[in-house]
């Protein structure tokens, strides 16, 4: 589990490193521009997570059923499909970057930096989509340590390039974008080379030299991983709405404060996402092997692990809120005070959101992508999005920071109902 969690955390550091260097060495406007554009770019990169999560569970299931050659064919076509997605989406985003920036709420003072950051980041989009997809495939291939190593290499590459281009050369948001793009290419290209060079052994995953795209398998992988994609694009859409609301009420300061909050949330969510990436192929394997006893064991242990992690993470965030705010925006006292308060209110959601994220991943592993998508969709696009617009009107600006907490409570009740209805065999008191 730990290698997978570490892999996702390091991947999430891309935007955090960019934000730190841009905020401290390029100013508040550049920092706000990065935070405005990043959710839209994550929406495209998450296509790789959709293909990888659904495909990883599918590949693990086929392996569990005893068909390793078929698993390799599916693995190869999904990797090729991910690469093509990255190229197409990167080109489209670069072409329409000004329109995207305007749609996201950028004013004239931020427009240039938004467009520059967005277009340069698109150089690495094929690598980013592949990197997101391989996060699950590493687990299906039983190579979680390799995923961790590659994430470390990519993360260190990003940090060093940010220090060089943003701090030393003073390239501002352009330097941050180039650093991110090159790091993503490193993380996406290496696994292509690695899996292409592997020899076929019993149970191993390799990239075949030639394979045609079989759309039913691609459709199955995408539909099965739809919840992960919905969850990520929903989070991006919600982030966009947060930015809209904050620009209305607080201007650039609100967007900058939300950016810092999201950096912590990225790392914390990455812990749960990493755990889910690790557990999904395992549950999928035992589901394919019809081992209900082991499925129940994994379900019960996961609930305990996630609960303990949630309490610990929330306590750390509350205790370090002031220090984290000063790290990113310490040059502005008013912004530091606003950011500290935002962190303390928003981070309470991690007491329970891990269970909600696990419920969605559980149904992915059980090949029930539709129910998984419903849980993810309701969590962000229904509950949180509604709260972002309604609560500020009822309780003022603090309602923006409370929105996520109310949404997670509502989602928890929904997930309990879904598990009882669609996976009653996993309840700890059920019969074998």
pLDDT computed for residue 91 by the predictor: 96
How many residues belong to the chain?
432
pLDDT computed for residue 46 by the predictor: 87
pLDDT computed for residue 7 by the predictor: 57
- Angstrom distance (rounded) from CA 38 to CA 125: 12
pLDDT band, very low/low/confident/very high, at 431 (cuts 50, 70, 90)? very low
Between residues 15 and 327, the one the model is more confident about: 327
Structure tokens at 237: 């859409």
pLDDT computed for residue 247 by the predictor: 83
Give the other-Cβ count within 10 Å of 219's Cβ: 11
Packing angle of the helix pair 172-197, 2-26 (nearest 10 deg)? 160
pLDDT computed for residue 178 by the predictor: 95
Three-class SS of residue 314? helix
Residues 150-191: pLDDT tens digits? 888 888 898 899 999 999 999 999 999 999 999 999 999 999
pLDDT band, very low/low/confident/very high, at 2 (cuts 50, 70, 90)? low
The mean pLDDT of 130-138, rounded to a whole number, is 87
pLDDT beyond 80 at 254:
yes
The mean pLDDT of 97-107, rounded to a whole number, is 89
DSSP state of 251: T
Radius of gyration of the chain (CA): 21
Give the other-Cβ count within 10 Å of 204's Cβ: 16
The upper half-sphere exposure of residue 40, i.e. CA atoms within 13 Å in the direction of its Cβ, equals 29
- Angstrom distance (rounded) from CA 368 to CA 361: 10
What value does the mean pLDDT of the chain take? 87
Residues 330-382: pLDDT tens digits? 988 999 999 999 999 999 999 999 999 999 888 888 878 788 888 888 888 89
* Reduced 3-state DSSP string for 348-417: HHHHCHHHHHHHHHHHHHCCCHHHHHHHHHHHHHHHHHHHHHHHHHHHCCHHHHHHHHHHHHHHHHHHHH
Spatial neighbors of 344 by CB under 8 A, at least 6 apart, are 317, 318, 321
The mean pLDDT of 33-54, rounded to a whole number, is 88
- Angstrom distance (rounded) from CA 11 to CA 14: 6
pLDDT computed for residue 290 by the predictor: 79
Burial class (CB in 10 A: 0-12, 13-18, 19+), 201: exposed
- Angstrom distance (rounded) from CA 37 to CA 101: 7
pLDDT computed for residue 429 by the predictor: 52
pLDDT beyond 70 at 264:
yes
pLDDT band, very low/low/confident/very high, at 128 (cuts 50, 70, 90)? very high
pLDDT computed for residue 93 by the predictor: 95
Structure tokens at 379: 């969590």
CA angle 372–376–379, rounded 5-degree value = 140
Spatial neighbors of 256 by CB under 8 A, at least 6 apart, are 23, 28, 31, 32, 35, 329, 335, 339
- Angstrom distance (rounded) from CA 359 to CA 388: 23
Residues 383-428: pLDDT tens digits? 999 999 999 999 988 999 999 999 999 999 999 999 988 888 776 5
Highest mean pLDDT among 104-113, 186-195, 307-316: 307-316
pLDDT beyond 60 at 430:
no
- Angstrom distance (rounded) from CA 310 to CA 398: 23
pLDDT computed for residue 201 by the predictor: 60
- Angstrom distance (rounded) from CA 288 to CA 203: 15
pLDDT band, very low/low/confident/very high, at 69 (cuts 50, 70, 90)? confident
The mean pLDDT of 193-217, rounded to a whole number, is 78
């Amino acid at each position: 589990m730990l290698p997978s969690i570490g892999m996702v955390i390091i991947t999430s550091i891309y935007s955090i490193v960019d934000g730190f260097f841009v905020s401290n060495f390029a100013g508040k406007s550049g920092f706000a521009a990065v935070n405005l554009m990043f959710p839209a770019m994550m929406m495209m990169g998450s296509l790789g997570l959709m293909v990888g999560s659904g495909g990883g569970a599918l590949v693990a299931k086929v392996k569990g059923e005893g068909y390793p050659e078929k698993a390799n064919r599916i693995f190869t076509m999904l990797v090729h499909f991910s690469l093509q997605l990255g190229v197409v989406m990167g080109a489209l985003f670069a072409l329409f970057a000004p329109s995207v920036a305007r749609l996201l709420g950028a004013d004239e003072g931020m427009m240039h930096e938004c467009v520059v950051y967005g277009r340069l980041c698109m150089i690495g989009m094929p690598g980013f989509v592949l990197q997101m997809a391989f996060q699950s495939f590493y687990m299906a291939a039983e190579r979680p340590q390799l995923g961790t190593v590659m994430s470390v290499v990519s993360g260190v590459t990003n940090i060093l390039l940010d220090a060089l281009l943003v701090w030393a050369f003073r390239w501002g948001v352009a330097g941050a974008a180039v650093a991110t793009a090159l790091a993503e290419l490193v993380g996406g290209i290496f696994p292509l080379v690695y899996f292409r060079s592997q020899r076929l052994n019993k149970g191993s995953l390799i990239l075949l030299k030639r394979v045609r795209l079989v759309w039913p398998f691609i459709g199955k992988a995408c539909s099965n991983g739809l919840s992960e994609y919905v969850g990520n694009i929903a989070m991006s859409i919600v982030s966009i709405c947060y930015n809209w609301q904050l620009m209305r009420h607080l201007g650039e300061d609100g967007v900058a404060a939300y950016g810092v909050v999201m950096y912590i949330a990225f790392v914390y969510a990455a812990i749960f996402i990493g755990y889910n990436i690790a557990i999904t192929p395992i549950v999928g394997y035992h589901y394919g092997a019809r081992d209900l006893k082991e499925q129940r064991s994994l379900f019960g242990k996961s609930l305990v692990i996630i609960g303990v992690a949630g309490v610990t993470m929330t306590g750390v965030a509350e205790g370090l809120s002031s220090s984290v705010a000063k790290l990113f925006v310490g040059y502005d006292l008013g912004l530091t005070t606003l950011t500290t308060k935002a962190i303390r209110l928003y981070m309470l959601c991690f007491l329970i959101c891990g269970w909600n994220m696990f419920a969605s991943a559980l149904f992915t592993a059980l090949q029930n992508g539709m129910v998984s998508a419903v849980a993810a969709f309701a969590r962000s696009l229904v509950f949180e999005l509604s709260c972002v617009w309604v609560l500020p009107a009822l309780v003022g600006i603090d309602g923006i920071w409370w929105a996520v907490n109310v949404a997670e409570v509502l989602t928890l009740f929904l997930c309990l109902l879904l598990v009882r209805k669609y996976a009653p065999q996993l309840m700890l008191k059920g019969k074998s």
